[in-house]
Structure 1
Amino acid sequence: MKLAKRLALTTTAVALGVAGTFLATTADAAPAQPAVAKISVPDALKVPDGNKLTGVFDAKGVQTYTCTDGAWKLLEPAATLSYKSDKSHRPVALHSRGPVWVSTVDGSAVNATAVATSPKTGTIPEVLLQATATRGTGVFADVTYVQRLNTSGGVAPTTACTGTEQVGVPYSATYAFYKPAK
């Protein structure tokens, strides 16, 4: 439980720090989106027609696992999403349990649920998620789908566990956000 509390406090502290720093150095608008790089998307994870890509962000964080009945089970992700420019990675959102993504730029948010997965050897699967709720008028307003692509790491330990152990396993991914095409 101490790790969970520490993770929650760390995530909150990072969110406040990132938001303050980012808001102090940017205008009210979200950063312009990069041209979509050639991202290989498995057929199972394609977004239905009638939606358009509105944001692509790199993510780095941890997948936190907890020991339940002698096996490692996913507890929650904790990641920072960044806008990649030619010069730097600017944090723009936090990803956590729900799953939920919250903009540190404008406070908008999207909750989603997985509707399809595509396994990858040696890493967490790529996933297509459908939005279940959105909040605010910013970057995540009206999001319909989220893709987790280009995953690396984040796999649950293969070792045995006992009690209520928790472990955070580093991962990275690319998250793509879609809204209705109008």
Structure 2
Amino acid sequence: MPNTSRSRVRALAVVGLAGVLAAIGGVTNQASAAEVAVPAVSADTSRADTPRIASTIRPPAGSRPVGAYVVTRGTQTYTCAGGVFTGASVPEGQLFGTGGRVHHFKGPSWQSERDGSLITAKKTAESPRPGTIPELLLTVDAHTGKGTLSNVAYISRLLTSGGVAPAGPCTDGATAAVPYGAVYVFWAAKG
């Protein structure tokens, strides 16, 4: 008998990812059903519930989405220094999306659980969101292995929730893992 809770989460993830990819395709005019491998949905970007990518965090013109992943379990871990939790955090997350499962961890790094392909990236730009960690554009700086992530050049972290450093005093060296949510969109460079 299938795990119905897990099946529902997967179904919701696919539907959510389809909406995000449809909206991104509408914004960039670059996505095709074959590239993103998700069901077609309306790409009406005039709707209020359609995600928008801030101009400050858009990948370069001509980039095309090659996958999208929702954080199914994730934390941002902060370390106390000088009596406060610092602004720098270390991610730890399990993502699920168009290319299966991806592990997101310190680096920041992303590794496909399907084929072992691995990428690391550096923050290129950010767009703040009140009450949550910012949305980001990251540029991939290293690839290992061939597979799901081997042609990724940029990563967008969108629709963030939670993950903000705890407020108030703390003991130096203490850590706090704060749950967060986001959608990661992986982009191939213009080619």
TM-score, length-scaled by structure 1? 0.75
- Partner residue, 2:67: 55
Aligned to 2:78: 65
Aligned twin of 1:7: none
Aligned pair partner of 2:168 in 141, 159, 182:
159
What is the aligned counterpart of 1:33 among 26, 32, 37?
A: 37
> What does 1:11-160 align with in structure 2 at a 5 Å threshold?
33-34=37-38, 38-59=50-71, 60-73=73-86, 74-83=88-97, 92-160=101-169
Superposition deviation, residue 77 in structure 1: 0.5
8 A Cα contact 2:100 2:112, kept in partner: no
| Contact residue 153 and residue 171 of structure 1 kept, 8 A | yes
In 2, distance between residues paired with 1:62 and 1:128?
Answer: 19
Measure the CA separation in 1 of the matches of 2:37 and 2:173.
Answer: 41
> What SS class does the counterpart of residue 167 from structure 2 fall into?
coil
CA distance in 2, matches of 1:105, 1:158: 38
Q: Please tell me the residue identity of whatever aligns with 1:42.
A: A
Task: Decide whether the 8 Å contact of 2:67 with 2:97 is kept in 1.
Answer: no
Mark the runs of 5 or more structure 1 residues left unpaired by the alignment: 1-31, 85-89
Q: Is the 8 A contact 1:62 1:78 kept in 2?
A: yes
Q: What TM-score does the superposition give when structure 2 sets the normalisation length?
A: 0.71
- Percent identity of the aligned residues? 38
Distance 1:62 1:33 in 2: 28
Distance 1:96 1:160 in 2: 26
Per the TM alignment, residue 110 of structure 1 is displaced from its structure 2 partner at its CA by 0.9
The answer to whether residue 181 in structure 2 is matched with residue 172 in structure 1 is yes
Match of 1:18 in 2: none
SS at match of 1:50: coil
Q: Separation in 2 of the partners of 1:91 and 1:107?
A: 11
Find the residue that maps to 1:44 and give its secondary structure.
helix
Aligned-pair CA distance for 1:91? 5.4
1:164 is matched by which residue type in structure 2?
Answer: G
Higher relative contact order by CA 8 Å / sep ≥ 6: 1 or 2? 1
Aligned length: 146
Q: Which has the higher strand share?
A: 1
Cα separation, partners in 2 of 1:157 and 1:91, compared to 1, 3 Å: farther
Query: Secondary structure of the residue that 2:151 maps to in structure 1?
Result: coil
Q: Which runs of 5+ in 2 are unaligned?
A: 1-35, 44-49
Q: CA-to-partner distance for each residue in 1:88-122, whole Å, 9 max, x for gaps? A: xx951110111000000000011000010000100
